[in-house]
Amino acid sequence: MYRGHEGIREVLRDVYDALAELHVEYPEIRDPGDRLVAIGRLRARGTESGAKTESAVATVTDFRNDKAVRIRTYLDPKEALEAAGLEE
């Protein structure tokens, strides 16, 4: 879990250290009001191993006063939809 501005910087450092390439596409975005659910694909290549991976990915972003206050990432879009109180 990462918190605050320093947490965002830390997670980005961790990602940039671990991955030589990272591509995320979100062709589907749902807006049920106080949150956004983005569903897509993630492609990455490891820095050390060079191994490539591809996976489904989804994020649930909760907003308060027009600011993102929590972002949760899921490798199973169904879990993200359930967490956001939505159905497929």
Q: What pLDDT does 21 receive?
A: 95
- Residues 25-33 have a mean pLDDT of 94
- Residues 21-26 have a mean pLDDT of 96
**What is the model's pTM?**
0.80
Domains of the chain: 4-82 (3.10.450.50)
Nearest residue to 24 via CA among 64, 63, 65, 54:
54
Q: Are 84 and 72 in contact (CB under 8 A)?
A: no
Q: State the average pLDDT for the chain.
A: 92
Residues 70, 32, 37: CA angle, nearest 5 degrees: 50
What is the rounded distance in angstroms from the CA atom of residue 87 to the CA atom of residue 78? 8
- Residues 60-77 have a mean pLDDT of 94
